[in-house]
């Protein structure tokens, strides 16, 4: 991953924190949960426990740098990730991941 990628610091911190605490290699599944909890925490800070307000606050989140990508929610987009930014093609060469340009 290029150093200029906005996700790199978030990913490196997540990997380090996870592996230090759990003493096992990180997996993608934990990252999905981390993203969900971070997004929910942001919404709860503003909305409190009101479900409709939580939804409204999540729909306002844009530019959240997570493990799975950079989230940009809206009333029409509850996924928050677009395929051009959230997914990259990689190949493994000599045991290392390489991004396919």
CATH for 19: 3.40.50.2300
Residue 56 lies in a domain: yes
In this prediction, residue 60 carries a pLDDT of 98
What is the arithmetic mean of pLDDT over 21-39? 93
Has residue 87 got a pLDDT over 90? no
Instruction: Tell whether 2 is covered by a domain.
Output: no
pTM of the model: 0.81
Residue 1 falls inside a structural domain:
no
- Asked if pLDDT for residue 15 goes beyond 90, the answer is yes
Residues spanned by the domain of 95 = 8-99
Give me the pLDDT at residue 27, please: 85
Is 49's pLDDT higher than 90?
A: yes
Residue 42 pLDDT > 80 = yes
Q: Is 12 contained in some domain?
A: yes
The arithmetic mean of pLDDT across residues 50-70, rounded, is: 96
Q: Report how far apart, in Å, the C-alpha atoms of 73 and of each of 30, 57, 77 are.
A: 21, 9, 5
Q: How far is CA 70 from CA 14, 40, 45, 58, 59, in A?
A: 15, 15, 20, 14, 14
Provide the number of structural domains found in the chain: 1
Task: Give me 75's structure tokens.
Answer: 């009333």
């Amino acid at each position: 991953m290029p150093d200029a990628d906005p996700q790199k610091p978030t990913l490196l911190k997540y990997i380090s924190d996870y592996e230090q605490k759990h003493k096992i290699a990180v997996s993608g599944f934990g990252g999905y949960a981390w993203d969900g909890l971070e997004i929910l925490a942001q919404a709860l800070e503003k909305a409190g426990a009101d479900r409709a307000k939580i939804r409204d606050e999540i729909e306002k989140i844009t530019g959240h740098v997570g493990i799975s990508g950079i989230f940009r929610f809206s009333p029409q987009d509850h996924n928050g990730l677009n395929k051009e930014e959230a997914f990259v093609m990689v190949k493994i060469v000599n045991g290392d991941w390489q991004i396919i340009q």
